[in-house]
Chain A
């Protein structure tokens, strides 16, 4: 029962982020890159203001899998770095998302090369 409730919260939280994104797409005709930048920024602001821990505490992967989690992770790295010194304050944000960025670049290059190019059907 416990695990069922956890997955329900994950589903609801992740779904809500996507629902907000879809409303923005429907109402403002924003494109993919703008939506992603906006949600990343929301994640940064939530973490920087200390509200993110409540979102993540409730939503678990429903909060970390959407791009907002990526933004929160960036900000958390920078905040932790700021406790150590000026250089870590500037660099530890990227360090905390290094895994994701590396994966995007390596898998992106690999699948970009091996996949057959298709003409996009609109």
Chain B
């Protein structure tokens, strides 16, 4: 009998290594490309709406990327991309949109309230909670340090 540790070692030895390199390369290329598309939108908005400052443009680019992330998840294409791209489709903000829309689509047969609205944040919930808690912590620390100094 092998114990857990030995089994893990055995698995890591026998697993094909080449595939790992392929997933890493695909994640790099897809993630980089999504970010370049975002930069493209940034250039476009800076050109078209010159009165927007850089923070507003960043916000608008984020909203645009979330729109396309949601759209392609709704069409079922984003999950297909995710099968090849792995983290390349998860880490960009479009992956955040995907994590919200994907369960919403999955449960929409169960209706608006208990299906879509209740399940939207099944995956994204921890992200929102940790984000808000982080923000409060950082704000408090900076406020206290600012008062003390």
A-to-B contact residues, CB < 8 Å: 6-7, 10-26, 32-37, 39-41, 44, 47-48, 59-62, 64-71, 73-75, 77-79, 81-83, 85-86, 88-90, 92-94, 97, 99-105, 107-118, 120
Contacts and interface: CB of A to CB of B under 8 A. Distances in A.
A6 B71 contact: no
Contacts of B141: 48
A41 B39 contact: no
Nearest to A7: B36
Interface of B: 20, 23-24, 26-36, 38-39, 42, 58-63, 65-67, 70-71, 73-76, 79, 85-88, 90-93, 95-97, 99-101, 104-109, 112, 116-117, 120, 123-124, 126-128, 130-132, 134-136, 138-143, 146
Contacts of B66: 100, 103-104, 107
A83 B146 contact: yes
B131 to A, nearest CB: 5
Contact of A22 (B27, B95, B105, B128): B27
Top 5 A-B residue pairs of the complex, sorted by shortest distance between their CB atoms:
A93-B135, A112-B104, A18-B31, A14-B35, A15-B32
Given A112-B108, A113-B116, A16 B28 contact: yes
Contacts of A59: 35
B24 A111 contact: no
A44 B130 CA distance: 10
Contact of B61 (A33, A44, A61, A94): A61
